[in-house]
Every structure is written in structure tokens, then in C-alpha cells.
Chain A
């Protein structure tokens, strides 16, 4: 597309410099550009040899700088100044993209590399009960994460979904609906640690109310329930937003068709509107779960950490994967390597969970999409 520079009236054409015919002037498309790119990489390698040190970063810096400068200069000579600017911009953006890939791939690679040290059967089957030094595992943390996340989902999904239904199906733009919408926005911005502090403060007060002793979280006001309340605060606005968006995509004609058959409103919502939007809503919910499953800070404050499996979310501390990873790294037992390996294994497990949830979301969105909606 960049072969022809201009077909404008001559006086409107910016000076291409050198009076060449703009339609036929030289082009760097294809092989020449690849020559520049490969040459830059080779030059980076040269610098690497010349400095005599093992430094990948330096290589990348030299290669990318050469790529950008060479593109600019060569294009200016062979093509035109405008072309040169265009190619330079493309080179900058491509370089930015390449630069970003470094840390991101590094994160993924490090998690896999370090995490694989303890990616073993023992890690997934044993807790840290009675373990000092090597061995042990994150079974108790996996159990905790699944329980807390399941509780969170049980609270946040109906809460968020019904709020979205209210906003789309019942609200008529009144002040109440507007207030709810903007407060959902505010909720989206609550820092996760603040959500944790809220849940903690809530249960400190609740634990002092004698009638609620059933909810008592015991020593230190820590419990899986408190963690789930904190995470609900973070997950609900995400569920509201995505569900609202999906419900608004359902054509009004379908609601009217249903009303015209004498179907009451609630049945119309339940049997016509929700099934039509179900694929998008479920996808959004799964992605929201992926977001909260790795939350660390609120759980650190509300659930704490323990060495043993705790199946009861209503009482006492519980281990969760993110807090387990943090704690194993921050407060290692001797030898520290064993602790740190466990931290990475927990991190890897979390990333795998997130990837699984993302894949589920993808599959759901493709198989549940109503065939009739374009």
C-alpha cells in the first residue's frame, strides 16, 4: 500500500525532494526491508561480540536502534521524506512491540521454569502440616483458593446478574438507576487491599454482635468467608458491567415478541432474554473469576495463612494459593530454596488456573452463541 505516495494535484503534493516521479520512485517493500531488519539483528550480534559480555539487553538495544535509524536513512535516500517518516513510525511501533514482548515472555518463561521445580505429585497432594524444610506442598492452599473462589462466585454472580437485570430490564433512567450505575463504577475502582480492609472491619464489628456468633470467625477475625466478602466486592462490578453489556445487545424485538404472546415480564427475561445473552454473560463471569482467583492482598488481610487444610470457610485462617506464594517467598523456612520453589510452584498453579479459565471462556463463547444472532 505504501508504493504510491500521492496522486494529488501537483501543487498539493508535498515536495518529495529531488523531482522524482512519485508514481514510480523506488520502493523498499519486501526484500530490502527484511535486509534492514536482519542486518540490524546481525549488527546487534556484532556489538555483543565486540563488548565481549553476555548481555542480551545490549544486543536488543543495538539491534532495535540500528533498525529504526537504518530504516529512516535508507528510506529517505531511496524513497522520499514522507515515506521515510512513515517507515520510521512503523519501525518505532514494531520495536515497541518487540520490547514489550521481552518482559512479558520473561514473566511467562520464569513462572514455567521456576515453577517446574516443584511441579510434582507431592506438591498437589500434601499440605505444609508438620513440614520443615524440603517437601510439603500447596494442597491446603489449592483447597482454600477453590473454596474462597467458589463462595465468591456464589455471592457475586447472582448479585451482579440481578443488578444488571435491574439496570437493563427494569430501570427507566431514573435517579436510582443512575446512582446505581455510577456506584458500580466506583466499585470497579476500589483497590483490592481496601476491599480486604472493609471485610476485616466488617467482621470485627460482626464478631462483637452476640446474636451473630454463628458467623464468628474466631481468633483474629480471620476466615474464608471474610475473604469471599472482600473478593465479592471486587468481582461484582465486573459481573454487572459485562452482563449489562450483553443484555443490552439482546434485540428489543425479542422482548416484544414474547410480551405479545402474553408472557409475563419475568418469564420473558428468564426464558427469552437470558438464554439469548447467555454466552456473553458466562464468558464475562468466567473472566471475572479469573481476575479474582489471583487476588492476594485482600486475602492476606482477611483469610491469613495456615499450614494445614481448613475445609470450613466460616471459621479460622485458611491457606490460599496467592498468599501461600507470597508467604513462602517472603518468610522462607530453612533451606530457603525449598520455600522459594514452593512459592513458584504456587505461582505456576495460579497461572495455569487463569489459563484454564480463559480457555473455558473461549470455548463457552463459541459453543453457546445462539446460531441465529449475527
Chain B
């Protein structure tokens, strides 16, 4: 048995010497300050955009082109933004779900890990790279192969048929939609894959024990469980597509107005792309107007993200029921 010296007991048993109080104060101050700065930053974002956007409405409209009405200016841009993003989402979501299911339930485990890593990497490739790829590789290919085919065979649908000629360069809404789809696909895939992998093993095994095939397991257990996750992933992808700037700015051939036909060289621009294209050349009230459109984009994405979060929260809390 080891002998222990009796610990020094009554010489320094004062509890009222504060210990590390100063450090605690500083550290708490830093943390609280950082958190408070988040609030201040967002208030500042809204405030400065508002202050700098305001002159659009109060200033002398004749300085601007058109009739100077802000809503006439921003309307086609809002349309273009939403139109492009919806095309992207329509193309990307079903494919992303299938790919996510392939990675989570079909690919061998080792392969699946590598694929997941690869998908994450693709989500991080800068958008300017996707833009360059879209204009250099994709646009020429699909404008010569797909565009005539779509016009000839599906021309009865207004989206593919109009009096305006097909864009030979491929710099049309459709091409941008495809590029945006390629860009948001990794995001939707990554989130869907994660929720599919979280499907309770028990649900899947219960289904398997009933003699279900793999597809039946997916239909009965995996998809119902992951539905809200997939929806919120798609909404996040939508948020990304709404704010996507460079790919649109590089590829699209924009025009003023509302255009439904996705195959021509006359296309409604997106807000973000319009800012990127106009900003370097703008001055005075034009800058204020662009900032005001930025505020509109901010509100638009804010709305979409709010819906995404609501869907995700509603889904996950009810997922066990």
C-alpha cells in the first residue's frame, strides 16, 4: 500500500479568491461579441443595400434608360431569374435523387465513399469554370444536336416553338438551364444521399423481412423517410441557382423583356448576371438601381431558404411518426 501524505488542508482553503475571472470575462466577451456581430452584420447588409438602393426611387429618373420605372426594369429580371432556376431544378432534381439512391443503396461501399467525396469536390468547383465549360463545350454541342430536334418535334409546346430563330451559338436559356442543373446537382445529391443513408436500418430490415425486393424497400422505407430532406435539398439547390452569377453572365445572350422560348438568342437575364454584366460599366443612379435589384434578389433567396428550412424542420420532426 502506498503511503499518502496528508494534503495541505487548512492553510489555503480560501474559496473566495476568484480564479481565472478575467480570462472568463474576456473569452465570454469575445464569443458574445462575435455572436452579436452576426446580428449587426445582417442589419448592416439590409441597411447599406437599402441606403444605396433608395436613390433609384427618389432620384431623377430621366438619368436612367427606359422610362425610369424600377419595376419595369426589375420585372423581366425576376422572371429570368426564376425561369432559369426552375429549368435547372426540373432537370437536376430527378437525376440527383437517382444518383443519390445509386450511391447510397446500389454502389459498393468503398466505391460509394469515393463517389461521395467526388460529388463534394464538384460542388466546390468555381462557377466561372462551369461557365467557361458551358460556353465552350456544351453550347456548341446541344445547339447543333438538340435544339433543331426540340424545335421540330416539340415545337407545339410554346417553350420550344416561336417565330424567333434558334440561337446558333447555343447561348440560350436552355443551355444555361442545363449548366445550372449540372452545378446544383452535386448539392441536391449530397443532401439527398445523406438523408437516404440515415433511413433507420430497422425500417429497411422490416421491409426486407417481408420479402421486398431492393426497389420495394426503397419505395416503402427510404423515399418516404427521405422525402422532406430531398425537398429541402432541392430548395437549397434552387437558392444556389437563383443567386448564381458567372455561369449565366458568361453563357446567356440577354435581351430586355419576358421571353418564354428557351432556344433563341433572346433571353430574359437573371438579376445576378445583370448586375455582373452592368456593374463595371455603370455610374450614378444606374449603380443605385443595380443595388436595388440586388436587394430584390436577397429577398427572393431569403424566401426560398425560409421555405426550405420550414420543410426540413417539419419533415424531420415528423419522420418517426
Contacts and interface: CB of A to CB of B under 8 A. Distances in A.
In the complex, A touching B (Cβ < 8 A): yes
B265 interface: no
B162 interface: no
Interface stretch (A126-134, A146-154, A324-332): A324-332
A197 B291 contact: yes
Given A86-B214, A96-B95, A183-B39, A201 B121 contact: no
Contacts of B82: none
Contacts of B305: 185-186, 188-189
Nearest to A302: B279
A291 B214 CA distance: 36
Interface stretch (A33-41, A162-170, A306-314): A162-170
A82 B51 CA distance: 63
Residue of A184, A187, A296 most packed against chain B (CB within 10 A): A296
Contacts, number: 267
DSSP class of B's interface residues: helix, strand, loop or mixed? helix
A358 interface: yes
Contacts of A77: none
A297 B246 contact: yes
Contacts of B51: 201, 205
Contact of B35 (A4, A180, A200): A180
Given A193-B272, A197-B290, A266-B24, A343 B35 contact: no
A228 interface: no
A354 B125 contact: yes
Given A197-B275, A296-B126, A266 B243 contact: no
A111 B215 contact: no
A216 interface: no
B246 A296 contact: yes
Interface of B: 19-21, 23-24, 26-28, 30-35, 37-39, 41-42, 44-45, 48-49, 51-52, 94-95, 98-99, 101-103, 106-107, 120-122, 124-133, 135-138, 141, 145, 182, 185, 210-211, 213-216, 218, 239, 242-243, 245-246, 249-250, 272, 275-276, 279-280, 290-291, 294-295, 297-298, 301-302, 304-305, 309
Given A107-B130, A165-B34, A200-B291, 13 more contacts: A2-B214, A4-B211, A97-B99, A159-B37, A162-B31, A166-B35, A180-B38, A191-B297, A194-B301, A205-B51, A290-B124, A296-B246, A297-B272
